[in-house]
Amino acid sequence: MGSTGDTTWQALAAAKREAILGSIPEKWRLDKIPTVDEQRNVTDAYIRQFLSPKESEITETDAVGIVEKTTSGAWSAVEVAEAFCHRASLSHQLVNCLHETFFDAALSDAKELEDWFAEHGKPKGPLHGLPVSLKDQFHVKGVDTTMGYVGWIDTFQGQKGDPRSKTFESEMVRELRNLGAVLYCKTAVPHTLMCGETVNNIIEYTWNPTNRHLSSGGSSGGEGALIALRGSPGGFGTDIGGSIRAPSSFNGLFGLRPSSGRLPYEGMANSMDGQNSVLSVVGPLATSAGGVKLLTKAILSAEPWLHDPLVAEIPWRADVEAQTRDRIASSQLRVGFHAHDGAITPHPPLQRALSLLRDIISRSGNQVLDWQPPASVSHPTVADLVAKTWIYDGGADVRKDFALSGEPWDPRILDIWQERPQADATSIAETNLALRKCRKEYLDYWNSTGADVFVTPCAPFTAARPGRYDYIGYTSFVNGLDLPSAVVPITTVDKNVDKFDSGFVPVSELDRKIQSDYDPEIYDGAPVSLQIVGRRYQEEKVLAIAEWLEAELKKASHTS
Amino acid sequence: MGSTGDTTWQALAAAKREAILGSIPEKWRLDKIPTVDEQRNVTDAYIRQFLSPKESEITETDAVGIVEKTTSGAWSAVEVAEAFCHRASLSHQLVNCLHETFFDAALSDAKELEDWFAEHGKPKGPLHGLPVSLKDQFHVKGVDTTMGYVGWIDTFQGQKGDPRSKTFESEMVRELRNLGAVLYCKTAVPHTLMCGETVNNIIEYTWNPTNRHLSSGGSSGGEGALIALRGSPGGFGTDIGGSIRAPSSFNGLFGLRPSSGRLPYEGMANSMDGQNSVLSVVGPLATSAGGVKLLTKAILSAEPWLHDPLVAEIPWRADVEAQTRDRIASSQLRVGFHAHDGAITPHPPLQRALSLLRDIISRSGNQVLDWQPPASVSHPTVADLVAKTWIYDGGADVRKDFALSGEPWDPRILDIWQERPQADATSIAETNLALRKCRKEYLDYWNSTGADVFVTPCAPFTAARPGRYDYIGYTSFVNGLDLPSAVVPITTVDKNVDKFDSGFVPVSELDRKIQSDYDPEIYDGAPVSLQIVGRRYQEEKVLAIAEWLEAELKKASHTS
């Protein structure tokens, strides 16, 4: 689909884009956004110049630290909310990461929390006063959910005049409010959601704030960029092929792609909703492993299975967490390492990160092993099956949403939306069987290894360069197998260490192409992250390991 | 499809039918099978005449009682196995309930268990020496899995020459063997599995042994009939629309339809495998609630989630069971009663059973309430959605299996297999969304009631009369909502009490027709059962309540 020649969608998109900017208070506007050559990295010191020391202190504290202060009364919910509203406003201006802001509602909610605290002498819940950002699939009263579609502006999921527009709230929103969270903004997504970069005709492109040559990832790219800038201490994204893990990884954040059925997706907007071979899942991203755990535990404490029929009745299992810590302490942990999926070679910084992590685990006395599933369940094989599920409907669902306004899709998004025949019931059943067979064989392989978890990159690159997200197999196999996966930031690209491998021998044209995308000059300073993949429903274990590795990495960086 | 005129399938079916009979040792053959007019009820005293007192004692002990004897060494595994092989042989001759026998393997396995016991001084597992029967979807080495298809004889699921034929074993078979169970027979199913009666061209019709005017139910009808005759203390069936609960209910047995993802279906044959909107589940039937619990707990103790990717990591939760008992003891239990689904009126004996159970619960001091979900999630509404999922492929899968031999399908099975268009991806997604919406609304209703469980019949009749299974909505809604449900036998039809309601005013032609099928003379003596439906994954709670009701009903029958 090309441009329609009609300017309507452009005008609507521009108006919405202006409205988002316009929702930022004058006092928080920036006069000038530096070019990437002037200022590649707009996080940390750069953004801090626009904040008061107290605002910086608050916003650079992780979610666990914030609730320690807000639940003890050391910080007021209002001052915390205001600091994050300010920093989120700056963040959006720097990298286009927001779809909606509702700062007045947030400040009013924060005030109510303060009143509650004053009245009851205790916090409302485990997230009392914690600002939480949400991907623009969550419905929050008072604002749009556009999911990046021009045709969804001022509608309910594209339906004009639907009474749920700006009134309905997703189940998890209800839970977050009850837990004491302060909601204040919704973050950018690529239209269709089916993309590892974040781009749409409303906010355009969401840049990686640590290195604005690069993508912030997708589809939860607005979350990734915002949290990297500390415009949020943590938030929720979704993942059907890597959409939590790519942004976590590209932005140097912790993130969790839970098993399907662990956290409540109920009442959220989605693409191809009702496709149930591989389900999209919702999960947290945060600046610390503890932050990810806090958000996960808090939602589970709300007993989401009572309100979302797809959630399994599995509360947070402190015993699994404790057993994992015991295994680590007693050097019993077994960690697999999968450095290459057989199809595409990870860029040099990722290879260095894998070695670094492997060394840390070995030195701790715990065990490492090579993770090499049989060819029949190689990660590319599983990824190919997953990709089939995304085009069951031949693009009908997303084309319908583009057609609402006549807007074209961005050439950088996964271009699988040209009309093609629908899959029929027999072929869908065959894909389901093939996926189940993979999951069974993978389980048998896992049992043979005795491993607790395994480690692998989230992509062959530390972050995608715009328009060059050419391979998603490093994340999407996890969705096909339905495993929990936690992203852990390991290091940053150092152009003096992470040289281009000129002796590299590609196994395919795509392998050659992707490796050639590595340019130490362009990538310098970018975060380098890995994912820790566990058995289905063992979120407690992968997060306990992520917390341990976070601490070990901190120790290692202090001694190096 | 009519008869092909070709006799091949008839010859193959007859040969297999003879082979099943022929597998029964001469010494256990019956000279004459009485007509239904000569002997309506062939259970209890009738079948006991062919058994020694010790054989009767063993086979009339429930699964819990048997393992008490076999794990303490009081009974040898071999004598128990032999008694059940004998009684199962008699059962098959009386009502056509078996597809496969493997008595020699069973006796040899039992001998090995005895040797194990002698060597280790302890049982091999919690099912040590317990005979367990299996629906003919389980693959067991040494014998066919025909699932009632003539074209599957001597194949692996219809594939000739497949090396898995007679060698491959289903995951649960492996687990049962490790737990110490003795496997000795596989039980009859209707071809296609999609039927509430059990009939196929091989074994023909499986009669209800308590009242041979009636159906044994389906699709796990062979299990139901065999266990009613005490030819098995317990076994496993499957349920995608009522196939565990109809046979349990029709035969006066306890049975559990677990939530999907609780027990391992891995490696079993199935119809329309890969349809994943409403999954078939596997679950136990037994002569006591304790027997059902024993089998469920035993399988969960084998950690099936390590070997079946669809099983959730939820072990047996003794705390949920104990909390349920506490709620009962402290009169906090709340039980809903759903006496009529709004579409079809249950026959008079079922109405009496509902009153009887309601009185028992009320008298215990616990609470009863009327269960009336909103019209948008009425049980017939959910049942209609479930029925859509069965014909996604327009009958392609089952027609393929009929075509292998050219056999026709029995006119008594659900006639939905005429060729029709396949559902496409968009319409399947719409059905998935409609089901999810129902499940959400039902959850909200449930939350509003504060109920622990609710009670409803498994069908409008206590058992179907042959060819008159005209309504499955009382079971299939549970599959659409994916709830655990335990069947509890309540009473038996008494023609002197359960009169035809001549003042009955039908709400539809089908309602009139089904009510007119009630004939006290024909139904006299038939078991009358109800199902206890719980929240998803609360198998522990529904079974604890089933056990309590079993005890209360015993007390009530002693005092009445």
Please give the residue of chain A at the shortest CA–CA distance from B313: A537
Per residue in A540-558, pLDDT (tens digit) is 999 999 999 999 999 998 7
Q: Mean pLDDT of all residues in chain B? A: 96
Burial B186-210 (b: 16+ CB within 10 A, else e): bbbbbbbbbbbbbbbbbbebbbbbb
Q: Are B283 and B255 in contact (CB under 8 A)?
A: yes
Per residue in A458-471, pLDDT (tens digit) is 999 999 999 999 99
- Interchain proximity A428–B425, CB inside 8 Å: yes
| Candidates A272, A277, A443; nearest CB to B276 | A277
Q: If we measure between CA atoms, which residue out of B100, B98, B158, B193 comes closest to residue B410?
A: B193
The CA distance from A242 to the nearest CA of chain B, in Å, is: 20
pLDDT exceeds cutoff 80 at A6: no
Question: Looking at the complex, does the CB of residue A420 fall below 8 Å from at least one CB of chain B?
Answer: no
- Interchain proximity A425–B428, CB inside 8 Å: yes
Contacts of A396 in chain B (CB under 8 A): 425-426
Where does the pLDDT of residue B412 fall: very low under 50, low under 70, confident under 90, or very high at 90 and above? confident
A266, A303, A424, best to mutate vs chain B, most B CBs in 10 Å: A424
| Candidates B314, B423, B425; nearest CB to A314 | B314
The CA distance from B213 to the nearest CA of chain A, in Å, is: 39
Please give the residue of chain A at the shortest CA–CA distance from B420: A425
Count of pairs with CB atoms under 8 A, one residue in A, one in B: 133
- Interchain proximity A309–B424, CB inside 8 Å: no
| Candidates B274, B305, B447; nearest CB to A430 | B274
Per residue in B485-517, pLDDT (tens digit) is 999 999 999 999 999 999 999 999 999 999 999
* Backbone torsions φ then ψ of A95, nearest 5 degrees: -140, 10
Where does the pLDDT of residue B540 fall: very low under 50, low under 70, confident under 90, or very high at 90 and above? very high
Where does the pLDDT of residue B549 fall: very low under 50, low under 70, confident under 90, or very high at 90 and above? very high
The interaxial angle of helices B318-329 and B539-559, nearest 10 deg, is 40
pLDDT exceeds cutoff 70 at A5: no
Q: Are B523 and B494 in contact (CB under 8 A)?
A: no
Compute the average pLDDT of residues B321-344: 98
Q: Where in the sequence numbering do the catalytic residues of A fall? A: 135, 219, 243
pLDDT exceeds cutoff 60 at B99: yes
Please give the residue of chain B at the shortest CA–CA distance from A426: B393
DSSP letter at B85?
H
Question: Looking at the complex, does the CB of residue A437 fall below 8 Å from at least one CB of chain B?
Answer: no
pLDDT exceeds cutoff 80 at A415: no
The CA distance from A72 to the nearest CA of chain B, in Å, is: 33
- Interchain proximity A275–B432, CB inside 8 Å: yes
Question: Strand pairing of A453-456 and A527-534?
Answer: antiparallel
| Candidates A397, A429, A537; nearest CB to B393 | A429
pLDDT exceeds cutoff 70 at B5: no
The more confident residue out of A416 and B283 is B283
Where does the pLDDT of residue A319 fall: very low under 50, low under 70, confident under 90, or very high at 90 and above? very high
How far is residue B421 from each of residues A485, B270, B271, B306, measured CA to CA in Å?
Answer: 40, 22, 18, 38
∠ CA(A526), CA(A530), CA(A532), 5° rounding?
Answer: 160
Contacts of B157 in chain A (CB under 8 A): none
Q: Are B458 and B475 in contact (CB under 8 A)?
A: yes
Contacts of B392 in chain A (CB under 8 A): 425, 428-429
- Interchain proximity A306–B428, CB inside 8 Å: no
Question: Looking at the complex, does the CB of residue B308 fall below 8 Å from at least one CB of chain A?
Answer: yes
Per residue in A177-232, pLDDT (tens digit) is 999 999 999 999 999 999 999 999 999 999 999 999 999 999 999 999 999 999 99
Helix or strand (DSSP H, E) at B297: helix B289-301
Please give the residue of chain A at the shortest CA–CA distance from B396: A426
Give A315: exposed, middle or buried? Use CB within 10 Å, 0-12, 13-18, 19+.
exposed
Taking chain A, what is the end-to-end CA distance rounded to the nearest angstrom?
Answer: 53
CA distance linking residue A214 with residue A247, whole number of Å = 11
Q: Mean pLDDT of all residues in chain A? A: 96
CA distance linking residue B310 with residue B260, whole number of Å = 8
Compute the average pLDDT of residues B123-142: 98
How far is residue A20 from each of residues A147, A169, A184, B7, measured CA to CA in Å?
Answer: 14, 20, 13, 76
Instruction: Go through chain B and tell me how many residues it has.
Output: 560
Please give the residue of chain A at the shortest CA–CA distance from B320: A313
Compute the average pLDDT of residues B125-143: 98
Q: Are A362 and A368 in contact (CB under 8 A)?
A: yes
| Candidates A275, A306, A443; nearest CB to B443 | A306
pLDDT exceeds cutoff 50 at B526: yes
pTM, entire model: 0.97
The CA distance from A191 to the nearest CA of chain B, in Å, is: 20
pLDDT given for residue A279 in this prediction: 98
How far is residue B82 from each of residues A299, B26, B89, B184, B200, measured CA to CA in Å?
Answer: 54, 14, 11, 10, 28
Query: Which B positions 108-127 lie with beta carbon below 8 A of chain A?
Result: none
pLDDT exceeds cutoff 50 at B552: yes
Q: Where in the sequence numbering do the catalytic residues of B fall? A: 135, 219, 243
pLDDT exceeds cutoff 60 at A269: yes
pLDDT exceeds cutoff 90 at B419: no
pLDDT exceeds cutoff 90 at B1: no
pLDDT exceeds cutoff 50 at A4: no
Contacts of A442 in chain B (CB under 8 A): 309
Contacts of A393 in chain B (CB under 8 A): 424-426, 429
Per residue in B170-188, pLDDT (tens digit) is 999 999 999 999 999 999 9
Question: Looking at the complex, does the CB of residue A431 fall below 8 Å from at least one CB of chain B?
Answer: yes
| Candidates A309, A436, A538; nearest CB to B309 | A436
| Candidates A393, A433, A439; nearest CB to B309 | A439
| Candidates B308, B430, B439; nearest CB to A274 | B430
Contacts of B429 in chain A (CB under 8 A): 272-276, 392-393, 397
Per residue in A58-86, pLDDT (tens digit) is 999 999 999 999 999 899 999 999 999 99
Please give the residue of chain B at the shortest CA–CA distance from A271: B429
Question: Looking at the complex, does the CB of residue A313 fall below 8 Å from at least one CB of chain B?
Answer: yes
Query: Which A positions 234-293 lie with beta carbon below 8 A of chain B?
Result: 261, 266, 272-277
pLDDT given for residue B6 in this prediction: 54
Question: Looking at the complex, does the CB of residue A319 fall below 8 Å from at least one CB of chain B?
Answer: no
Question: Looking at the complex, does the CB of residue A448 fall below 8 Å from at least one CB of chain B?
Answer: no
pLDDT exceeds cutoff 80 at B546: yes
Question: Looking at the complex, does the CB of residue B447 fall below 8 Å from at least one CB of chain A?
Answer: yes
Per residue in A327-357, pLDDT (tens digit) is 999 999 999 999 999 999 999 999 999 999 9
Q: Please name the amino acid found at residue B186.
A: K
Please give the residue of chain B at the shortest CA–CA distance from A447: B306
Query: Which A positions 339-398 lie with beta carbon below 8 A of chain B?
Result: 392-394, 396-397
Taking chain B, what is the end-to-end CA distance rounded to the nearest angstrom?
Answer: 53
Where does the pLDDT of residue B557 fall: very low under 50, low under 70, confident under 90, or very high at 90 and above? confident
- Interchain proximity B392–A429, CB inside 8 Å: yes
B482: left (phi > 0), else alpha (psi -120 to 50), else beta? left
pLDDT given for residue B417 in this prediction: 80
Where does the pLDDT of residue A412 fall: very low under 50, low under 70, confident under 90, or very high at 90 and above? confident
| Residue located via tokens 């309504």 | B471
- Interchain proximity B275–A432, CB inside 8 Å: yes
Compute the average pLDDT of residues A15-21: 98
Question: Strand pairing of B131-135 and A367-370?
Answer: unpaired
Compute the average pLDDT of residues A245-274: 98
Where does the pLDDT of residue A1 fall: very low under 50, low under 70, confident under 90, or very high at 90 and above? very low
Per residue in B434-488, pLDDT (tens digit) is 999 999 999 999 999 999 999 999 999 999 999 999 999 999 999 999 999 999 9
Per residue in A461-513, pLDDT (tens digit) is 999 999 999 999 999 999 999 999 999 999 999 999 999 999 999 999 999 99
